[in-house]
Amino acid sequence: MSSRKGTIVLMGSGELTATMVEVHKRMLSKLPDPASAVFLDTPAGFQLNVDEISRKAVAYFRTHVQKQLDIASFKSSENTSAFESETAFHMLRNANFVLVGPGSPTYTVRHLQKTPVPDILVNNILSGGCLVAASAAALTIGRFTLPVYEIYKVGQDIHWIGGLDILSQFGLHLVVVPHWNNAEGGTHDTRFCFMGEPRFQKLETLLPDDVMVLGIDEHTACIIDVQTQQIDIQGIGNLTVRKKGREIKFGKGDQVPFDILIKEPKPNEWHRTVDENSEQDRELKSSEADLMKKVSDIETFFQNGLSRHDPKKTTNALLELDSMIWQAQRDLENEENISQAREILRDSIVLLGAELEISPRRLRRYLAPLVEAMLQLRERFRDEKKWSEADRIREILEHAHIQVEDTKDGFQWHIIDEDV
């Protein structure tokens, strides 16, 4: 056990993207070799793809960080067996690098607050370990937790819930808000972790006077060295210290006083700003714009092929878009852009399916006069007990991929293969 205290890393987003690779490597390099790195899956424990998220984290560390990452699986405090729980707790106790990431902050608090996990994480830090809390997990480790989904999606009244309060064990009475500069809303304000300015101002009034807000931009890491009481900022965004509408911003390379997170800044320290158009930020935005421009061009190409009933053009567009998404994942492009590209791919497949569904209907409309005339002739043969002639008409229609069904109300027919 080390007598040196460890590190807390808070990430605004991007914990499994290119922007955070060097941060993970740097944190692991400070630990005794071989480091024992563990991923805790609780925040996404309710999701059907929770195991897929864990596998993605393992693959990311193996491929990009060149370190083994093990899974401490504690999906639920209610449905996890005693053996599974103790196994997860044992892994966490023996780890000196713990990554906790995406999912639901309120679910995380509900399923961890009455377990040994918060104390285990605190003891790990006191023993020289590193805790990386990103996205949803970052929301949980302060004194209060923002119920993002409940307010933003469900429409509940603004409120905070109690957090896991890990930071207060180190003198930091904060609430942590990742996705501080989120812009997914487009035409409406989704900054401050999807709350927007009006709602967040009201949320601030609900906080006790001794609690400040620590806002972390997306693809940005706030690295708190508990031993040296130094704070470092990595990534492409800023760190914002805020209280009741007043704020101080820090950018990459800035010296952030540890005391500023412990006691309220002096009046002349508020309203500090940084250059939000750094060269690295501009390069990232340019890369993201290039990806979305290519996706948009492919979407247009697909739409043209679909409108002209060109199977080769529509198929090539779908294959090219699928290939581009895989390449973007390998290049660790922005997750939101990849998600948008996937959505466009899904929409395109739906449009293609709708077109295929419509095509037989058009064909049916064209064939209906001929088919129904033949079926009426078949009915006349049946009435005249000319069974062989009636069967022959049915055989001809089936050969043309038209299936006939006799019912008590008469006959029905449909096309069983549109390639006729």
Q: Which of 275, 296, 319 is where one domain is finished?
A: 275
Tell me the pLDDT tens digit for each residue of 380-394: 888 888 888 788 888
The answer on 224 and 290 residing in a single domain is no
Query: b/e string for 66-87 if b means 16 or more Cβ within 10 A?
Result: ebebebbbbbebeebeeeebee
- CB atoms under 10 Å from CB of 41, counted, come to 22
Q: What is the pTM of this model?
A: 0.68
∠ CA 145-119-6, nearest 5°, is 90
Confidence at residue 132, expressed as pLDDT on a 0 to 100 scale? 98
Reply yes or no on whether the pLDDT at 43 is more than 70: yes
* pLDDT reading at 42 higher than 70: yes
pLDDT score of 128 more than 70 = yes
Q: Please tell me whether residues 256 and 119 are part of one structural domain.
A: yes
Q: What SS3 state is found at 32?
A: coil
The last residue of a domain, from among 226, 254, 275? 275
Indicate if the pLDDT at residue 213 is higher than 90: yes
Examine the pLDDT at 166 and tell me if it is beyond 60.
yes
Domain span including residue 291: 281-415
Domain edge (last residue) among 236, 259, 275:
275
Mean pLDDT of 20-37: 93
Domain count, the chain: 2
